[in-house]
């Protein structure tokens, strides 16, 4: 499986049953898109952002590769996955608060997953993020019995996103570090790719550009090392957004290493040509 930028775009286009013409219309020519997908032409950041927007590759709406069970009922777990994949957070929250759901929770891991999803729903739909903060903390409380699993790492990085929005820099950095600690030494699951993306996303929100670039590039390497496409399009998208925003702010005092990084990704020096 190839994990270059062109194949990521091609796979996502095919997954959405779009033709090259449908994706390219109003953005670029079909031959240019064909060249991007074949790897003979690499888009600059603005073009990549436009393609990501057309493909609905969102910065703040992502789906797990594999959802976690919140109870003993297969039907309820399938309903959970359906609501999560549809990003229907209002209905997700209502679903999680049904007594039927609560009655089927039996293990610490299921309770941990329950509070994780409750936190995700609260974060997405409530103006106050303190409820989401409490939910993620409750999820991590139950993690004491399940160890530093993929779900626990997701809990750490999700709580880091909340702490970042609250302006708690030290807590944010600590939680990000905890989510990534030893990540190369555990059995790989595709949901681990999200750890790198969410870390990059929260640094993006904080305008910590150096940290965004560092963690996102590590995420691309991590996914590629495991022959995975999952979240690669999102990771490339956020890199393009950083490049575009930095040009807007006329921040041209970039280190040579960072310019080489973008040149390798986009085959150009983005700060000169946007």
Q: Which one has a higher pLDDT value, 179 or 241?
A: 179
DSSP 8-class letter at 105: -
Contact (Cβ atoms closer than 8 angstroms) between residue 209 and residue 242: yes
Give per-residue pLDDT as tens, 208-226.
Answer: 998 999 999 999 999 989 9
How remote is the C-alpha of 35 from its chain's centroid? 27
Q: Which helix (H) or strand (E) holds 221?
A: helix 209-225
Q: Which fold has domain 1-61+229-274?
A: 434 Repressor (Amino-terminal Domain) (1.10.260)
Confidence of residue 270 (pLDDT cuts 50, 70, 90): very low
pLDDT above 50 for 254 = no
Amino acid 154: pLDDT: 96
Q: Which residues contact 261 (CB under 8 A, 6 or more apart)?
A: 213, 217
CA atoms of 212 and 165, how far apart (whole Å):
16
Give per-residue pLDDT as tens, 92-128.
Answer: 999 999 999 999 999 999 999 999 999 999 999 987 8
CA atoms of 255 and 267, how far apart (whole Å):
17
Q: In the predicted model, what is the mean pLDDT of residues 51-59? A: 80
Quote the pTM value.
0.76
Residue ranges of the domains in the chain?
1-61+229-274, 67-188
CA atoms of 77 and 122, how far apart (whole Å):
19
CA atoms of 263 and 260, how far apart (whole Å):
5
Amino acid 216: pLDDT: 92
Strands (E), 174-241: none
Give per-residue pLDDT as tens, 129-147.
Answer: 999 999 999 999 988 655 6
Contact (Cβ atoms closer than 8 angstroms) between residue 120 and residue 154: no
Contact (Cβ atoms closer than 8 angstroms) between residue 105 and residue 70: yes
pLDDT above 60 for 205 = yes
Q: In the predicted model, what is the mean pLDDT of residues 246-266? A: 47
CA-nearest of 56, 50, 62, 25 to 244 is 50
CATH annotation of 67-188: 1.25.40.10
Task: Tell me the CB-side half-sphere exposure of residue 12, using CA atoms within 13 A.
Answer: 25
Contact (Cβ atoms closer than 8 angstroms) between residue 120 and residue 129: no
């Amino acid at each position: 499986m190839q994990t270059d930028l062109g194949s990521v775009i091609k796979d996502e286009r095919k997954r959405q049953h779009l033709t090259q013409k449908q994706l390219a219309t109003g953005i670029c020519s079909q031959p240019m898109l064909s060249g991007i997908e074949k790897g003979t032409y690499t888009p600059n950041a603005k073009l990549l952002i436009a393609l990501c927007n057309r493909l609905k590759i969102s910065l703040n709406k992502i789906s797990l590769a594999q959802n976690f069970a919140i109870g003993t009922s297969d039907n309820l777990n399938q309903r959970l996955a359906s609501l999560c994949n549809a990003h229907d957070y209002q209905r997700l929250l209502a679903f999680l608060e049904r007594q039927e759901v609560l009655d089927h929770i039996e293990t610490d891991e299921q309770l941990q997953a329950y509070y994780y999803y409750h936190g995700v729903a609260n974060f997405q739909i409530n103006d106050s993020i303190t409820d989401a903060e409490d939910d993620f903390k409750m999820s991590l409380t139950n993690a004491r019995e399940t160890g530093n699993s993929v779900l626990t790492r997701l809990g750490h990085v999700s709580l880091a996103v909340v702490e970042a929005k609250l302006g708690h820099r030290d807590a944010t950095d600590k939680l990000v570090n905890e989510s990534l600690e030893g990540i190369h030494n555990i059995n790989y699951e595709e949901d681990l790719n999200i750890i790198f993306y969410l870390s990059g996303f929260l640094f993006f929100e904080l305008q910590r550009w150096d940290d965004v670039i560092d963690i996102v590039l590590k995420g691309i390497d991590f996914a590629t090392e495991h022959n995975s496409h999952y979240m690669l399009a999102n990771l490339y998208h956020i890199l393009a957004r950083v490049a575009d925003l930095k040009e807007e702010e006329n921040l041209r005092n970039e280190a040579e290493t960072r310019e080489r990084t973008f040149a390798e990704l986009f085959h150009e020096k983005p700060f000169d040509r946007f």
